[in-house]
Amino acid sequence: MAAQRVAEDVAKGTKQTARVRVAVRLRPYMRMQDQKGEGACVRRLDTETLEIINWRNATETLQYQFDVFHGEETTQQEVFLSSVKPILPHLLKGQNASVFAYGPTGAGKTHTMLGSQEQPGVIPRAVRGVFNLVKAKEREHEGWDYSIGMSYLEIYNEKVLDLLSPSAQDLPIREDKDRNILIPGLTHTPLSSFSNFHSHFIPASLNRTTASTKLNQRSSRSHAILLIKVVRTQRNPPHRQQTGKLYLVDLAGSEDNRRTGNKGIRLKESGAINLSLFTLSKVVDSLNAGGGGRVPYRDSKLTRLLQDSLGGSSHSVMITNIAPEYTYYFETFTALNFAAKSKQIVNKPFVRETVTVPSVQVKRSREEQEAGRSGEPQKKKLKDVKKTSQEEPTPPAQLHSPTDPSVLNRLMALEKLLMGTPVKERLNMHREIQELKEKQKEFESKAKVLEVTGNGATRNSSDSGSSGDSPLFRTHLPPLHRKQSTAAKPKKQQAVVSPLQVSQLQPLQHCPVVKKPSVGLMKKQKNLEQSEVQEGKENVKDTGWESHLDKSVLDQSRHKILQVLNSGSLKDLKGLQQIGDKKAKLILGWREIQGSFSQLEDLTKIEGITAKRLSSFIKANILSMMGT
């Protein structure tokens, strides 16, 4: 199988681009949100234009124009028909599409995407529309099979969580060789009908994280992304397969913590939401700036997943939800500016198609197979052969050899390599073979000339009664003879071996032996004796102090030391004799892992405390306790 990108207008030869479509929806006015009774700050002018009061000068207004503007009276059906339905047919052509709702908290994003049972939102209507399109295509009998599946996830505190499998942990985000965004481990559920989708989607939506704030009783605390995947496969060869994905995104709203009253966990959630939305704004600014600079998709998991929707290869629609009250003025003003910038983003959709390519087996030479097994490319072998031919010195032309052996070796090596090389390399090798053949002809012609001149010279020398030497090497100098040396050679001295004489040995006891003691050995013995005496004194001294004490007093002191070791704090441990900060921490760590000390001798299990140091430690602490 070979995956390839196919442009939508291949026959026309044009490169298709699709601008991000931006729709703005105004939530109905709510008096309970307008505590001061200031009225609405946004007003509709026509189906594409709206105006908002300029916060710098209340007598002026700022106008914005978008692809479509949905007023307060716009229904869910009208939003779907005008903004979402036109991009659904692209899924059946192997292209991606995405719809995401943006806006401040409490502006109606979740209502636009999910809706209610009486007024379904964009998500249920879009999924029903995909099933209707697939059924219409199947009735046309075009020779394609269709399959639909779904995945549902949320981004909560920068963690990707699977809503279809709530027990799953944070999922990673990966990118394949074709720069497609993947989430390994994300649940993919096949769908057979819209009712089947409804049975999976409703329980998964309840797993989404929501909470109550001062501005919204059921505020979304995470970004939710629903993925609908449509795959169509051709029944007949070459069995083409096209894959289209629909991303339906409900973004969490930006929040002003001074107004929402967030604390603790709610404050941490709003910080993660605002940070991801700020990164989304940076991505839009970078795309509008152009120039091929870095786009910070990887700075947030939200922008990483929306990489295909903004500046990627999908047909994208952004529904910006705003509120009309003056309480939301700055949130509305910021959302309109973001929507105006997003309208300038241009995507480049293409068809994701996989085609089965028949494998053609080509007969390969033995040398090429060996080169393929060893993993050594042909170019490298060719360079090695050239290098060896250049390094080997060419021997002088001989009379009896018509060609140069290095040229023959080179020709044979090139003919072997010629069997399995590409066409471009063959041309270069053919040129080199021609040059070598010309050199071979030159060597052959020179050899023939030398052979002819050699035969003529031998005939002339035989007629003139010469000794048969070739005139090419004839000289007037007498022939060289090796002179025999007149110097007398020195006679080699022969080794004289006297016969073995056996003598009688004297008995060992009759031979007096005088042994002189070594000075170094004497010093070692003396030092050893002194150390033994000193150790004996120390042992006597160490054991002597315990004998002068009463056994009950000694046991009581040892018990006090053991009690400090088992229950004392870091300060108490450092109060003991010969226990510093480092050893006190080691004792605490050992006590937490192993438990209490059963006896004082257990201190030797701690690093750095030997038996000798233990005895010194016990002595010092007992004497200090008696002194106090």
DSSP 574-623: HTSTT--HHHHHHHHHHHHHH-S-SSGGGGGGSTT--HHHHHHHHHHHHH
Q: Report how far apart, in Å, the C-alpha atoms of 284 and of each of 59, 103, 292, 341 are.
A: 31, 15, 13, 7
Kindly state the tokens that stand for 136. 């219409």
479 is in an annotated binding site: no
105 is in an annotated binding site: yes
| CA pair distance 75, 71, nearest whole angstrom | 9
| CA pair distance 112, 117, nearest whole angstrom | 13
189 is in an annotated binding site: no
Q: Give the ranges where 290-355 is alpha helix by DSSP (H).
A: 301-305, 329-342
Please enumerate, as own/partner, the contacts of 74-83 that have beta carbons within 8 Å and a separation of 24 or more.
Answer: 74/25, 75/119, 76/112, 76/115, 76/119, 76/120, 76/121, 76/122, 76/125, 77/125, 79/23, 79/25, 79/112, 79/122, 79/319, 80/122, 80/125, 80/126, 80/129, 82/23, 83/21, 83/23, 83/317, 83/319
The dihedral through the CA atoms of 47, 49, 55, 58 has a sign that is negative
628 is in an annotated binding site: no
Give the pairing of strands 2-6 and 314-322. unpaired
As a whole number of Å, the CA-based R_g of the chain is 48
110 is in an annotated binding site: yes
107 is in an annotated binding site: yes
Quote the longest CA-to-CA distance of the chain. 141
Kindly state the tokens that stand for 286. 């970078």
The dihedral through the CA atoms of 564, 566, 569, 573 has a sign that is positive
Asked if residue 48 lies in contact with residue 65, where contact means CB atoms within 8 angstroms, the answer is: yes
- Residue 456 phi, psi dihedral angles, 5° rounding: -65, -40
| CA pair distance 196, 59, nearest whole angstrom | 55
Residue with tokens 């929707």, as numbered in its chain: 309
What is the tally of helices (H) and strands (E) in the chain?
17, 20
108 is in an annotated binding site: yes
Kindly state the tokens that stand for 614. 């233990």
Helix (H) or strand (E) holding 78: helix 76-79
The dihedral through the CA atoms of 269, 115, 244, 152 has a sign that is positive
| CA pair distance 335, 328, nearest whole angstrom | 10
403 is in an annotated binding site: no
Binding site for ATP: residue ranges? 103-110
Known binding-site residue numbers: 103-110
